[in-house]
Amino acid sequence: MTKPTGLDKVSRRRFMGRAAGMAAAAMVATPAFAQSTIEDIISSPRRGAWDDQFDAQSSRSVAETATRHPIASADTIAFVERAIFDYQDLIARGGWPVVPATKKLRMGVSDPEVRILRQRLIASGDLDRNAGLSNEFDSYVDGAVKKFQARHGLPPDGVLGSYSYQALNVSADVRLGQLETNLVRLRSMSGFLGDRYVMVNIPAAQIEAVENGSVVLRHTAIVGKIDRQTPILNSKIHEIILNPYWTSPRSIIEKDIVPLMRKDPTYLTRNNIRLFDGQGNEVAPETIDWYAEKAPNLMFRQDPGKGNAMSSTKINFHNPHAVYMHDTPQQGVFNKLMRFESSGCVRVQNVRDLNTWLLRDTPGWNRQSMEATIASRENTVIELTEPVPVYFTYFTAWASEDGVVQFRDDVYQRDGVEELALR
């Protein structure tokens, strides 16, 4: 639900619990891992199944503003150029009014501020002019608010709370600059990207699988925290691992696992995490002094299985950042408003659909064989017959053929305008 205004208002930065400051936010992503802390990985009290769809109203509303045109395409460049012209004209006519963020407006409310809201929504094309100007928050305004929310990456609940007000009250001039910035980014990717490719748009936390110039799959994603950013990169997906092992990074061993073992000596065993020395020999947890000054110099590896940090799938592609795409046992995270929670890797909702598409040209692998392998819980490495290009991109604004203009928060502060940064 959209957050309330007034005294209850809370910034989205605070909502995410960001610890790093502005300088940290601009840092290049360090080698990333599947999850940020071991507790986040394996201590979920309400784990969903891999195929949970979470087909809420928000998903349906977003679909209404979706298009088969990939974001990175010549068509999108033309659509954004047209949007820029429209916004220039809008600004010349005075832009749009500021909507007072003093009340939680919703269906059924009658208030003079609704009249201002109507003016704002008409100016941006979300509300038909024929709906008129009145004080009534009727079904026409409700539909317009939901459309506005969907194209700004907000839950389309029709309720105006703090997040919606923040998006509404970004000026037309700033939005024009956002479109112009992203036009440059789009033009930089105007070349041939491949007959088949995968694109991750970080600010939207969304993945497109594109074939022959058309989007065939879209996936909700979880991407890097503000202080552990998912990097911009180009590579090729060459490998899918079913039932992967998960190896804990040193930082999680020191900050999370050791303290947990001091509290509960059965922690590793209960969570199928085993210890190995440099020669590959398994080491019993009870032989370790967990109160020593330094954490043990051992490999902490979690066995494949439903509770594994990467669950069913790890998708590999060569890159200098040590990032990858993967499944997660915590499917509920995909329903969150804020999906910037990883240490740089990208978690993929309904990843098995993407697996099937990626493995289409690899002999012996179809949906049935993949499901059977996952059910076996045996670690299985699959080399793709034809590697598939993958692009991690950063688009905070784009447009579609029907004139719908999409905006997202500048989560990593790359647009250069504080007003557009994640709030």
Q: pLDDT digits over 49-95, tens only? A: 323 322 233 333 344 456 788 999 999 999 999 999 999 999 999 99
Q: How far apart are CA 207 and CA 222, in angstroms?
A: 10
Q: Is 319 a residue whose pLDDT tops 60? A: yes
* pLDDT of 6 strictly over 60: no
Instruction: Determine the residue type at 86.
Output: D
**Residue 338: per-residue pLDDT:** 82
pLDDT of residue 399: 96
Q: Which residue has the higher pLDDT, 160 or 16?
A: 160
Give tens-digit pLDDT for 232-262.
999 999 999 999 999 888 878 998 899 999 9
**Looking at residues 352-359, what average pLDDT do you find?**
98
- As a whole number of angstroms, the distance between CA 106 and CA 145 comes to 9
Neighbours of 84 (CB within 10 A): 19
Query: Tokens 């220039």 — which residue?
Result: 88
Question: Alpha-carbon distance 13 to 180, whole Å?
Answer: 25
Residue 137 has pLDDT above 70, yes or no: yes
pLDDT score recorded for residue 330: 86
What integer is the mean pLDDT of 225-231? 92
Buried b or exposed e, range 49-66, using 16+ CB within 10 angstroms: ebeeeeeeebbebbeebb
What is the residue-averaged pLDDT of the chain?
A: 86
Position 58 scores a pLDDT of 35
- Determine the pLDDT at residue 151: 96
Looking at the annotation, which residues are catalytic? 326, 345
Is the predicted pLDDT of residue 335 greater than 90, yes or no? no
What integer pLDDT is reported at residue 21 of this predicted model? 39
Q: What is the pLDDT of residue 423?
A: 55
Within 10 Å of residue 129's Cβ, how many Cβ atoms? 10
Structure confidence at residue 158 (pLDDT) = 95
Contact 115, 108 (CB under 8 A): no
Greater model confidence, 236 or 402: 236
Instruction: Tell me the whole-structure pTM to 2 decimals.
Output: 0.81
374 to each of 244, 248, 314, 367, how far by Cα in Å? 10, 22, 12, 11
Confidence grade of residue 422 (pLDDT, cut at 50, 70, 90): low
pLDDT score for 265 = 95
Average pLDDT, integer, range 344-370? 96
Q: What is the pLDDT of residue 87?
A: 97
Torsion of CA 53, 54, 58, 62, to 10 degrees: -20
Q: Flag whether pLDDT at 410 surpasses 50.
A: yes
* 9/361: higher pLDDT: 361
Give the residue among 334, 2, 8 at the shortest CA–CA distance from 155.
Answer: 2
